[in-house]
Amino acid sequence: MNDQVFQTFRCRSTGEEIDIPVQKGTTQNELFVLWSDIQSGFKNAESVRNGRALIPFIKDRNNCEYVDPRDRPGVIYQLNNEF
């Protein structure tokens, strides 16, 4: 049985969708997607949106950026790579 959870991201310019693995924190079991994982699938990604709302990045103590999808199950995030 695979318990891996994925978050779907869509490229604004092409409409391409990629499911990116959601990571689980070790201390409080928080869920997050690493920005580096997003950039692996979308090389020119600049920001993440949910509709018109910009999704802020959070940085951990090691200065690693990530997106916190925990309160938005089933949402497809849009990656902005052009303005």
Range of the domain at 44: 6-80
1 in any annotated domain: no
What is the C-alpha separation between 53 and 29, in angstroms, rounded?
Answer: 25
Q: Is 25 a member of any domain? A: yes
Phi/psi for 25 (5° steps) reads -65, 155
pLDDT at 68 over 80: no
Q: Give residue for tokens 């692996």.
A: 40
The pLDDT score that the predictor gives to residue 69 is: 61
DSSP designation for 74: T
For residue 58, being part of any structural domain is answered with yes
Rg (Cα) of the chain, in Å, rounded?
12
Q: Is residue 13 part of a domain?
A: yes
12 found inside a domain: yes
* pLDDT at residue 13 is higher than 50: yes
Number of domains in the chain: 1
- Let me know if residue 44 belongs to a domain: yes
Quickly state the pLDDT bin for 71 (edges 50, 70, 90).
low
**Arithmetic mean of pLDDT over the chain:** 78
Is pLDDT larger for residue 72 or for residue 55? Answer: 55
